[in-house]
Amino acid sequence: MTNTEGTSFKDIFFKVGSALFLGVLVLMLIFTLLRSDVEQAGMDMLTGKANIKAGKIGGKDVPMDSFNAGRRYCYQIYQGQIPDNQLGECAFMILKGMFVANTIANSLGYTVSEELIRQNLWEEAQKRVKLSYRGAGYSDDEIEKPDQVYRQFLKEAPMRFRIEAAVQGSIQANLLQSDLRKTDDELLVQSEASTARVDLNALVYTEEDLTKLANQNVEPTDLQLRELYQKEITDSNAPKGKDGKIATFEERKSILRGKFLIEARKSAIENLKAKIKALQSEPDGLHKVAALFGTGTVTIRDKAFADLKSVASSKGNFSLLTDKRFFQDLTSQAFGQKKSLGPYKDADKYALVEFVAVRFGKPETSTVLRIRDSSVILNGFLAEIPQSVAEEMTVERLAKSAEE
C-alpha cells in the first residue's frame, strides 16, 4: 500500500510547480527550433490573431498579416511620403491587384512554389550579408549571419503573401514566352489581305457642309411666328412686360424666331441625314448625294488597305481606317453594286464610300508569317483580362489600420 500520510502540501505544490516550469521550458525550446514563419503561425493561434480579418476582396477574407504586409510594402515604395491614414487604402489596392492576378493564374493552373520563394529569400539574405560587411572591419561575432537575415525576411510577410506577389509579378512574363502559331486559315486571310487592292469612289464632307445645306430653307415666315405667339399667350405662364401685361408679338418676335430656328435646324439636319441615307441605297446614289452637296467625288484606284489611311480630297486628307465600321462593311458587302455605305467618321469629316472592285495577288505562305507576335497579342489580352476581373470584385474593408 502507498503511504500518503507522509506527503505534505508543500511537497505537492513543489512537484506541480516543477512540472509547470519544465513544460514552459519545453514550449520555449520548441518555438526556438521552429522556422520563424511556423513559429509566428503558432503564436498567432495561441493569441487568437490568426482569426483576425482585415476585410474581404471578391468575397474572400483578407488575413490581417497579409494586410500588414501590404501596408509595409506601401510604406517602403512611397518612402513614408503618404500619410499613415492612407496606407490602408494603398494596402487594399495592392492586395486587390494580387488577388486579380492570382484568380487568373489559378484558372490557368499557374503558380509559384514555396520552395522557390525560400530559395530566393536565402540567396537574397546571403547577398545582403556579403554587401553589408564587405571590408567593414567587423569581427565574425559582429557580422550578421545569413540565417538571421533569412529569418527576418520570413517575419516581414507571410508566405502566402509572398507567393501571391510572385505570381502577380511573373504570370505575364511567363505567358509571353508561349509560342503561338497561326492556323492555315489565319495565314490565308493574312496573305490575301497583304496582297489585296481595292477600287473605291468616295464623297467627303464636313459637319459644316451638313449644317449649311440643312439651314438653307429654315427661315420662319411671319405666319409661323404668329402661330408660335398664339400658343405662347394661351399658356398661363406666358411672359409679361414690366407693366404686368402679356408681351406683344413685336416684343417677342426676335425671341420666337430664335426658338423656331433651334427646332427647325435640328429637324432639318435629321431630315437631311434621312434623305442622304435613302439616296445611298439607290443605283449611282453616291453621285446623287454629291449633287445634293454641290461637290465632286474622290476616285481611289488600285490601293492597298494601308494606303486608305490617308485619302486626299477637297476637304483635306481623310482616313478610312479610323472608323471600324469601314472594315466591317469592306468584308461583308458585295463590290460593284453602285451603292454607297457609311458615313464613316474621321475627326470633323465624314465619307460615303462606293465599293467598286477588289483584287487579290498571289498568296504568300512564308514561314516567317507562321509565328504569331505572341508578346503583342498576349499583352493585349493580359491588359484587358485583369481590368474585367477587377470590375467584378468588391472590396469590403473591416480594418482602418493595423499594427506593423
- 127-161 confidence digits (pLDDT tens): 888 776 655 555 566 677 888 888 888 888 888 88
Q: What is the reported pLDDT for 49?
A: 47
pLDDT band at 36 (very low <50, low <70, confident <90, very high): very low
Q: Are 32 and 21 in contact (CB under 8 A)?
A: no
pTM of the predicted model, to two decimals? 0.41
pLDDT of residue 155: 85
pLDDT above 80: residue 201: yes
pLDDT of residue 43: 53
Is the pLDDT at 66 greater than 80? The verdict is yes
Residue 44 has pLDDT above 60, yes or no: no
Residue 32: all three cell numbers together: 526556438
> Are the C-beta atoms of 157 and 75 separated by less than 8 Å?
no
What confidence category does residue 15 fall into, taking pLDDT thresholds of 50, 70 and 90? low
Write out pLDDT tens, residues 228-258. Answer: 776 776 766 666 666 667 777 776 777 777 7
Q: Determine whether 190 is exposed, middle or buried from the number of CB atoms within 10 Å of its CB (0-12, 13-18, 19+).
A: middle
Residue 394 reports pLDDT greater than 60: yes
Alpha-carbon Rg for the chain, nearest whole angstrom, is 39
* Peptide bond preceding 343 in cis form (omega within 30 of 0): yes
Is pLDDT larger for residue 270 or for residue 253? Answer: 270
Q: Is the pLDDT of residue 7 over 60?
A: no
Is residue 362's pLDDT more than 80?
no
Query: 75: burial class by Cβ within 10 Å (0-12, 13-18, 19+)?
Result: middle
Give me the mean pLDDT over the 191-200 stretch.
79
Q: Is 217 helix (H, G, I), strand (E, B) or coil?
A: coil
Q: How far is CA 292 from CA 192, 203, 213, in A?
A: 37, 11, 9
Predicted local confidence at residue 401, as pLDDT: 45
Please name the amino acid found at residue 241: G
The C-alpha cell at 93 is 489596392
- Which secondary-structure segment (H or E) carries 134? none
